Chains A and B, each alone.
Chain A
């Protein structure tokens, strides 16, 4: 029998008859006749239990054909397995599956707790099972691979690789309810792993089971502000080009977790991505207001650098901030009076001090008329009324008052009067503080 016929029989024995022992014997015969058959070395590696031996066979395959993709991929996996569990014993030889395993085996004692970390023995067993599942999968024996993954899920109900492998292959084989069963079991165990929810959402979408889909989304929202999970769901929507869903879900998430900076920032980003930039700004503002020193806070702060800053009602209505500006005006007049009094505060005399006082009053009137016409209470006393959204007030050339406000603003006529009186008082204050100078000059 020639090498090629032996090779074909070996593959048939492994793939179809699940007879690994016969397959191994046939492969060895093949390689005795044709040691340059790289595919035979790869097959031999795939059914060999010892990682070191597997690695040696793969090296042989790659020496013959360095571009052999199967060999390269398997080598990488073996290397990773060796690196992650250097002291673990080699995994048990995969038992040949005698019958397809379409459905996951039920877990008799309920789902294993996800809170307890795996013991060393469990970790070894999981690694061995996953390794075996890979071998079966590569050999084309999907059912056997699924069985291995299900075994892993009996140990850790939400194991990412096992759950992902089992669900996707069950789906492909048409066992949709079994896939769903595995996911439901993981979710019922209280898993908060994002991929469990994401896979479940994906499956619910494919099954067009919108009730389950909505229930899952509500379940995610009800989970205690798990930002990573919420964001993962949103990213899934974004990847699937379902921006409306993403925004809707994000809005609900923000109403559940109003102090979540990452959610607020993501909302802003999404709005910007779809060209609704102005709507994004309040979300960034909210995120930045929650603290600018966190990662998301810094991100919000940086995003806001791209917008023209605006005044909030807190700043518009603050009397303290207006008085601060008045203090600046008063400082100017105090310094002027001080110099007129030969740099002695004691020599300033009542007229100059009166000048400083008048400057404070005039300054306050001017500031109220120009930059602070919406101070709380004062604006109402002076007949202030709410500004219509289509008639924004202006702040001496800046765009700072262009956002809608819920504070009343002093009417323009009253502002003009206040401003004029303020300027007149400042002129008077100037004469008073430059008492000596004007006396001499005039």
Chain B
């Protein structure tokens, strides 16, 4: 019980701090035209969560000794080396070879990595799935993830032997597709600073006799603003990697950027009628 409370306090503190300065999208306020349940998005979230919770988390969060609590176990490291994606793994008999491009997409390094990715997948994927239909959306998701993996290796002049894991490349593709298809959409975000900044504006509007809510825990922002910010945020470190090369691990910005660019292939996967509407400048 105590542990659960501690965990919740820790969870919300980190969430507050990480969303104070930068907005974090949590939902899409747009209309879902085809009125289908986004079951592929939900399935992807479920698979990623199950893979993490049932397969990776026991190794990651099992204390190896009293002194080294929460230290990754050898088993965890082995899994990363076997199923994570890297250029050397493509030919390493100890790994699953080129299949790592698919397996790495469903693995996450820790709880926050999983939580962040799945939140973004939910916020952006729901409507992209609606635009494509479930199976074409899955194919696009996998293609975007593979392009992200390939791009992160080809554009990096250094030989990066550290295996990469995570769905962020594929999700970046979904985000890019969202930007292409629904640039005018509004996203509901958690943004501490925005919430505080809105108070004096709402107060002013109230004084002017307009209808305004003084306090709202979420802020609606245009999708293009968030996505352009995401692209810029990933472009600068990616350029550094392209020019200098890096094999230091950490966040793979280059994979995010190439995944984002993979969004251009979304037009191979969207519904036929939606494509023709898009071409003729109509609303989707």
Contacts and interface: CB of A to CB of B under 8 A. Distances in A.
A305 B30 CA distance: 11
A395 B134 CA distance: 11
B96 A315 contact: no
Nearest to B34: A398
A339 B31 contact: no
A149 B234 CA distance: 75
Contact of A399 (B34, B98, B136): B34
A342 B34 contact: no
B150 A338 contact: yes
- Chain A contact residues, majority secondary structure: helix
Contact of B98 (A321, A324, A340): A340
A342 B91 contact: yes
A74 interface: no
A339 B283 contact: no
Nearest to B280: A292
Interface in B249-274: 265, 267-269, 271-274
B242 interface: no
Given A302-B283, A339-B101, A340-B97, A324 B268 contact: yes
B70 to A, nearest CB: 33
Interface in A419-438: 434, 436-437
B98 A436 contact: yes
B146 A335 contact: yes
Interface string B2-34: 000000000000000000000000000001011
A308 interface: yes
Interface string A78-90: 0000000000000
Given A342-B91, A437-B96, A332 B133 contact: no
A315 B277 CA distance: 11
Interface in A258-312: 288-289, 292-293, 301-302, 304-305, 308-312
Contacts of B271: 309, 398, 400
A315 B133 contact: no
A331 B268 contact: yes
Contact of B154 (A324, A325, A343, A436): A343
Contacts of A342: 87, 90-91
Interface string A398-431: 1110000000000000000000000000000000
A318 B276 CA distance: 11
A309 B34 contact: yes
B265 A328 contact: yes
Contacts of A436: 91, 97-98
A336 interface: yes
A396 interface: yes
Specify which of A310, A316, A318, A343 lies most central, judged by the most chain B CB atoms within 10 Å of its CB: A343
Contacts of B99: 434, 437, 441
A342 B95 CA distance: 14
Contacts of A292: 280-283
Given A288-B282, A308-B33, A436-B97, 20 more contacts: A289-B280, A292-B281, A311-B272, A315-B272, A315-B273, A327-B268, A328-B269, A338-B150, A339-B90, A339-B146, A342-B90, A343-B153, A396-B134, A399-B35, A434-B97, A436-B91, A436-B98, A437-B96, A440-B93, A441-B97
Interface of B: 31, 33-36, 87, 90-91, 93, 96-99, 101, 133-136, 139-140, 142-143, 146-147, 149-150, 153-154, 265, 267-269, 271-277, 280-283
6 contacts: A304-B283, A325-B268, A339-B146, A371-B133, A434-B98, A440-B97
